Chain A
Amino acid sequence: MRIVVPLKAVPDLVEEIELNDDGTDIEREYLKFVLNEWDDQALEEALLIKDAGGAEVIAVALGDDPDIDQALYTAIAKGADSAVKLDRGGAEGSDTHSRAAAFAAYLKDNPADLVITGVQAPDDLDGQLPPALAAHLGLPHVSVVVSVEPSGGGAKLRQEFSGGRAAELTVGLPAVIGLQAARQTPRYAPVSKVRAAQQAGGLSEVSVAPLATQPPLTVRKMYPPVSTSHAEMLDGEPEEIAEKIIELLRDRALVK
């Protein structure tokens, strides 16, 4: 079984998000980029399938994603069999449709039984990768998945809805899965192992001609939301703050 895991570098949300001069995009130059946490979950789920027996896991990313080598080497350190960087030959666009066009081109030449990638990324303005990829490839797809288990010639999936509801589905392979959360927390790759992977080199570079796709959305402007209200902040020593909070609850007859 061949499992391909597309990865994406996204702005680190812990940081302040700076905008470019005309306010139509984030300022990529100065932002710190990290691996999309949903893709980290997807990689974990792929590795869990591999642990259970007999799968090959290939991590794939766009070569022009910022600082993506680190994520690819980490994938190898965690147990991926190989890691691939796609060269789009100058084609640009970090939007979902441009990315789907590149990954789909790779997958047409290098088919997988399962494509497992994060259900979404924080900067997905024009939609999400898994369904777009599936459409280009003409494959069934299921997103917001929290469990993938190969079974017979297909896979058993658990898809989540709001309110704690879920569905158990089966899907024939090949298929594209948008992962919400792996069956367990993503494993840790010791720094020494990542370094070893870096030293061994071994990232393949593959040139792709991205499929035809729609142009990126026209963005008029981006801006931080203006909040119309703010919490009344409580200051002082922990004991004083605790006192104020208990009083707020007491005023509402929520404590004695």
Chain B
Amino acid sequence: MSNVMVLAGRAGKDLTDTTFEMIGAARKLANAWGGQVEVALFGGSEAAAELGGADTVVSIDHPALADYVPEAYEIALKHVLAERAPKLLLLPNDTVGLDLGSSLSVDWDAAQAAYVVGLEPEGDMVVATCQILGGKILAEVELSGPRSIATVVSGAFPVAEGRSDSAGNVVTVDAPAGLDALKTALVQMIEPDGGDVDITAATMLVSVGRGIGSKDDLDTVQEFADALGVPLSASRPVIDAGWLPKSRQVGKSGLKVKPKAYLMFGISGAPEHLEGMRDADLIIACNTDAAAPIFDVAHYGTTCDLFDLAPALVEKLEG
């Protein structure tokens, strides 16, 4: 059996885009191997209506699966893997994949490739391309055993390839007993704090990163944002340091923005940040490191020091 299984991801009640990206990638591999594409869907099978891109939707429904809880999903997925025995399991390289990939790799005895941005079938194996070391290195690895796992980066494969107008064919699997004896429990979901400003609605954003140095130095760039009349956003390190609220975070674990212009200061352009802003219409990056990965993505760039450039920009606008 050379089937490829995809774990469906949910954002609230909806299926994530990554689910469809993975189905598309799975189809290409299943075709090469003469196998089928199956989707594991937990916590209710209504979403199967969108999963006609798969050959089978394997559903487990149980109260413990109503929301994502790592231990519950792991027990359910282990059970599905034992029942359906795929050759390859695709997981999203997000919180779910960071929770489940490596524990399943040990328990299911399956080699795992992480941060996967490419999957090519080769005979009865698959060669995965992994993006590591802050995006500075790509590694091609062989997944050649009877069972493998790939955690797939969002946006690496086209969404359209996995979408379908038809419903998936549902096979229901009984909930394993372990779901009644969990040690992990959900207390509550926390929705994003509306906060002061909705950066996803801004026409333009001025964004700061680690290069800003300190909270006081934020003022320099804040003045530029004020002169333009647009919000200040930031990459993860600035938020973690507490210099700006979570509502301003752009990136993989923050918000995805698509403004007409994204003006960025002191951000190197690591994959997690790019995931949040690479579709902006105009990207202008200011970073003193000429080798910063952001310059491969930005439309315009400068190595001018932001502490010289930001005041100069304010002066041009107000002077």
Contacts and interface: CB of A to CB of B under 8 A. Distances in A.
B94 A162 contact: yes
Contact of B190 (A17, A165, A222): A165
Given A156-B187, A165-B192, A225-B138, A131 B99 contact: yes
Contacts of B284: 245, 248
A169 B154 CA distance: 25
A232 B299 contact: yes
Contacts of A252: 260-261, 281-282
A131 B106 CA distance: 9
B64 interface: no
Contacts of A166: 189-190
A180 interface: yes
Given A167-B188, A235-B302, A126 B114 contact: yes
A132 B187 contact: no
A1 interface: no
Interface stretch (B79-87, B157-165, B247-255): B247-255
Contacts of A234: 300-302, 304
Given A122-B134, A223-B138, A127 B105 contact: yes
A142 B185 CA distance: 11
Interface stretch (B25-33, B66-74, B167-175): B66-74
Contacts of B240: 181, 185
A188 interface: no
Contacts of B302: 233-235, 241
Q: Is the interface of B mostly helix, strand, loop or mixed?
A: mixed
A219 B143 CA distance: 10
Nearest to A126: B112
A171 B183 contact: yes
A105 B71 CA distance: 23
B141 A164 contact: no
A175 to B, nearest CB: 7
Contacts of B191: 165
Contact of B99 (A143, A156, A163): A143
A168 B184 CA distance: 11
Contacts of B132: 122-125
Contacts of A248: 282, 284, 300
Contacts of B153: none
Interface stretch (B37-45, B53-61, B309-317): B309-317
Contacts of B188: 167-168
A91 interface: no
A242 B141 CA distance: 45
B106 A217 contact: no
B138 A135 contact: no
Nearest to B263: A245
Given A141-B70, A141-B103, A171-B183, A255 B228 contact: yes
Contacts of A160: 95, 253
Given A17-B136, A231-B301, A242 B309 contact: yes
Contacts of A74: none
B98 A143 contact: yes
B177 interface: no
A255 B260 CA distance: 12
Interface in A1-52: 11, 13, 16-17, 19, 26
B241 interface: yes
Nearest to B311: A238
A187 to B, nearest CB: 13
Contacts of A241: 302, 304, 309, 312
Contact of A214 (B111, B115, B261): B111
- Residue with the greatest number of chain B CB neighbours at <10 A, chosen from A120, A168, A231: A231
A143 B308 CA distance: 40
Given A123-B132, A171-B184, A248-B282, A159 B95 contact: yes
A199 interface: no
Contacts of B303: 233
- Residue with the greatest number of chain A CB neighbours at <10 A, chosen from B95, B132, B183, B302: B95
A204 interface: no
Contact of A246 (B112, B291, B316): B316
A219 B141 contact: yes
B266 interface: no
Contact of B296 (A19, A126, A230): A230
11 contacts: A26-B137, A96-B102, A123-B133, A125-B114, A131-B101, A135-B102, A143-B95, A166-B190, A227-B296, A233-B300, A252-B260
What are the 8 A-B residue pairs with the smallest beta carbon separation, nearest first? A164-B192, A231-B301, A127-B102, A227-B296, A131-B103, A135-B106, A242-B312, A172-B183
Given A144-B95, A230-B296, 20 more contacts: A13-B134, A123-B133, A125-B132, A125-B141, A126-B105, A126-B111, A131-B102, A131-B106, A161-B11, A161-B95, A162-B94, A164-B254, A165-B190, A178-B98, A213-B106, A217-B141, A220-B142, A225-B296, A242-B312, A245-B300
